[in-house]
Amino acid sequence: MSWLRYIILSGVLLILPITVSGQYFGKNKPFYRTFDFQLIETPHFQIYHYFDDDSVVNQLAAMTERWYRFHQQIFLDTFLTRSPIIFYDNHADFQQTTAIMSHIGVGVGGVTEGLKNRVVMPMGFTWQQTNHVLGHELVHAFQFNNLTSGAGTGLSSIQNIPLWMIEGMAEYLSIGSVDAQTAIWMRDALMRNSFPTLEQMTASHRYSPYRFGQAFWAYVSYKYGEQYILRLFRATARQGYRQALRDVLFVTPEDFAADWEQTLRNHLLENVNDSTYNIIGNRLITRQNAGRYNLSPSVSSDGKYIVFLSEKDIYGLDLFLADATTGKIIKKVFSSTRHSEIDALNFLETAGSWSPDNRHIAFVAYSKGRSVLVIYDVERLRVKREISPECVSAISYPAWSPDGRSIVFSGQTGLQSDLFLLDLESGSCRNLTNNNWAAIQPAWSPDGKTIWFSTDEPSRWQTSRTGGFYNIAELNPGSGEALVHFTFDGARNLNPIPVPDGRHVVFLSNRDGRRNLYAFEIETGFLRQITDYPTGITGMTELSPAMGFGGNTLYYNLLWGGEFQIIKTTFDNLWSLSRPITDRQKNNHAARLVPYSANLSLVEQNLLEMSPGFEPSVEASQSRLRRQFQLDYIGNMGVGVSTGRFGTGMAGSVEALFSDILGRNLLYTAVSINGRIHDFGGQLAYMNQSRRLRLGGSFSHIPYRTGYYTYENGDPDINDRGELVFYSRRIFEDKFATFSNWPLNRYRRIEAGVAYAFYTYRTERISTPSFYYPVYSAAGERVESPPSFGVGTFDLAFVSDNSRFGITSPVDGHRFRVQAEQYFNDMNYRGFLFDYRKYWFVRPNSFALRVYHYGRYGQDADDNRFYRLFLGYPWLIRGYNTSASYSSETVEGRSISFNQLAGSRLLLGNFEWRLPFSGPMDFAMVRSGLFVSEMALFMDGGISWDETSAPVFSLTSNSDENRIPVMSTGVTFRFNIFGVMVLETYYAIPFFQQRFHRGEIGFNLMPGF
């Protein structure tokens, strides 16, 4: 056999274990159950669902058609075909969707993708949540439809539109211009003189595209009219927002931003209460001792400790424990990098609840495809118990009873939620409310006889019945009797918490257009306003828990300077500063994102129709579920014919991914041609994702081309080299592979694959070739080729990855892969891989360690027909990828041979101290909005050997049979190139034979290990 055959074979075998079984590392898309979807069709939508309750389906159908009618009035557009909407019962189910290939984070409320114009979303805990997300996502559906059907635009035009325009439009058209939650963010930015320009909104991550984008479109509608929404959107899609503002609104971006800011400043800061702060209490948790986002405070009953959510460690929200008196951080209580058995922490609408003995906390997480209640031992830092109540599909807002025997929580049931009481001893749960209204944010009275909560049920004395309000209510858990109290008519009255004195309840309300704290006197029903903040007391979202009592001390979240701080104060202090409130009507003036206008906009008129449970019925019919493949992605499109003095040739390639609507069946195709018809290649792959065990198969025909020059028919006696000829050789690989993937949870999986490849050759002899002519594609005389052969492989791997990725490399957690391979038929050997990586984050630095071994074992493990494994690649050990450090043949006293770095088995270790060098983060050495990089100090070391040599753990050797470790140390810089790739450049100083050698500069195109 020709040596060429084995070079090609070796390269194929090296990549085969990775490609047939999936990605090397990476987290899994959670998948634990198969959903039995049904399909109903309305006039404009295909609704996919798996709900047993027909009333829920009919209500969703009516909601979608109503939103279609509202949005159509703005977009002046129609759907030529029914647009698909896929509903999931809860967020845990939504995270398992196969319709969207990317991971679904806890904070993602819904997704709309453009090629199929699919909306994919879960039900919320309240009708208002579901209705808002549906309206928001359908705006995106109209945006995609408008771009693909309009003249001069296509789906790719969306890259011209900044995110704040896209998401802001969806928020404005689904919420309107009256939104207290967005208004407090605008007011906060204005007060600290950091209201952004349009350019800053586009470039900086500090400005929420949802909040500031919503305010942008509200201002456009207010000043220019709603008829300009579509015009500006389409003009931006064609030429960008800067030119679109000039062409459509006849204003420069700078003048627009200045006028917008001044209008908001005059409106939102029109009185002294809108621009001054008198903080009630002391700052306990701030950016100085934690992060910028410190959320959901929960205090132990003895008032000693507080747990809260924070991004203190930058790359994710974790649960921290602090001293409730001083604010000193004691320890990180919970993190996904520490507890891989938990898929994710539900950080948006839940807070930890302490047990009465102050030893445990209860919080909500996602595990094995379910929303679970986690009982966590704070002292031992371990999960004591996971509870997944069968009575509900999802849970939130747990509250531990004062006697410690039960936990009350909000449980999701269809479009609404009820309160459920969980008996911790028996595990049974009981529905306490059981009605058609939402029940969220429960809290126990100190004596355990009453549960206070928020509901969208109207009070008996309430006059405003349009959607958007919440009331506080009390419930007797024994009798089930509930009373909805009348506080502020039409306002969002949330987060009720009984005061330890047993006579009052404090709650949050936006009744004045802000988010302030109020007290409700239980016996009389009197109301008092406690705080008067221009921004407000709020969590990440409007429904996030934002305060909690510890003894007589209240701890609450305050939005201040773009940060969430935790403030502490006694209730006595709060009460002394409070004032009585007699006007119970809601005043929206301060909640408006633009000055008041007597003429309601079309958007506001439509939103006034919104009310839970009163959707008009629509015509809907049951349809059969069909498996129809549609395009998801197409890329590398191109074909061309070129001619010139070097000849004529053809080249082109295209790849495409297809799937059905639910994403259960994936079909990948790729074709390529480069040169002659022999150079045609293609691949067809299929994967079935309808079960937890994901199965797939592929068939491919791939041509490889190579060749060499040589002289023939020469006569050495007369110094005649003979005729120069070129041998062009094509190797054709025809391969069939099957692969499978079994995700154990989000972080662990088992992979397996079987493949068989058959190789054939075509060799052509080209006489008198030109060095300036592309001889690889030239035609020649067909000559004898090496014989065909086949090789098969089987591989099995276990993968674990709970790491968190930083700027250019992982910074926390671990990665682990162990893999076994068996090759058979023409080649017979076994491969074994062990790759363990551990990361420690110590703000702002991180430390990384890798231990790696790969070896070939068995009959053909050391066959010289294979390429040997090389230790000196820069992604293994830096500083040895050129010949400057070693001689080519033998070991010398001051050098080592190439053979010392090559073999059939490798063992190596790497250690890095990683520091953020430049970027937008506050802890980077050099702050930059565009230039994002990481610096690391490293130490690499490793050893290679084979059957004819042995590893010797010594610093010196005079024989290739005794393999010694080679090492290097140096500094590396990694640059994040616009989030597309990572470029590494390093300076490495090799160390071998007991001395340091000349340093070497090198490059890598990959993230850090």
- Give pLDDT tens digits for 262-289: 999 999 998 766 666 788 999 999 998 9
CA–CA separation, 648 and 969 (whole Å): 51
Three-state secondary structure call for residue 440: strand
CA–CA separation, 213 and 198 (whole Å): 10
What is the DSSP annotation of 925-942? SEE-SS-EEEEEEEEEEE
How much is the pTM? 0.88
**Contact (Cβ atoms closer than 8 angstroms) between residue 732 and residue 762:** yes
> What is the predicted pLDDT for the residue at 1?
33
CA dist 790 → 14, 298, 476, 759, 827 (Å): 16, 64, 75, 6, 9
Structural domains present in the chain: 35-159 (3.40.30.160), 161-276 (no CATH), 282-586 (2.120.10.30), 631-801 (no CATH), 806-811+831-1009 (2.40.160.50)
Q: What is the DSSP letter of 146?
A: H
3-state secondary structure 235-273: HHHHHCHHHHHHHHHCCCHHHHHHHHHHHHHHHHCCCHH
> What is the predicted pLDDT for the residue at 864?
63
> What is the predicted pLDDT for the residue at 507?
98
> What is the predicted pLDDT for the residue at 952?
84
- Give pLDDT tens digits for 9-50: 333 332 233 333 347 898 888 889 899 999 999 999 999 999
**Contact (Cβ atoms closer than 8 angstroms) between residue 648 and residue 642:** yes
**Contact (Cβ atoms closer than 8 angstroms) between residue 690 and residue 34:** yes
Three-state secondary structure call for residue 168: helix
- 319 bridge partner residues: 309, 334
> What is the predicted pLDDT for the residue at 642?
37
Outline where DSSP puts E strands in 625-693: 630-644, 647-659, 665-675, 681-688
H/E run at residue 199: helix 198-203
Which backbone phi and psi does 704 adopt, to 5 degrees? -115, 140
Report helix angle 209-223 to 253-268, nearest 10.
Answer: 90
- Both tokens assigned to 352: 């930890």
**Contact (Cβ atoms closer than 8 angstroms) between residue 374 and residue 345:** no
**Contact (Cβ atoms closer than 8 angstroms) between residue 63 and residue 45:** no
Q: What is the DSSP letter of 37?
A: -
Low-confidence ranges of the chain (pLDDT < 70): 1-22, 272-276, 467, 611-616, 636-653, 675, 708, 714-715, 717-721, 768-779, 864-867, 883-896, 921-922, 929, 960
Residue 116, phi-psi category: left (phi > 0), alpha (psi -120 to 50), beta (remainder):
alpha
CA dist 379 → 384, 402, 551, 835 (Å): 11, 20, 21, 33
> What is the predicted pLDDT for the residue at 92?
93
- 505 bridge partner residues: 498, 520
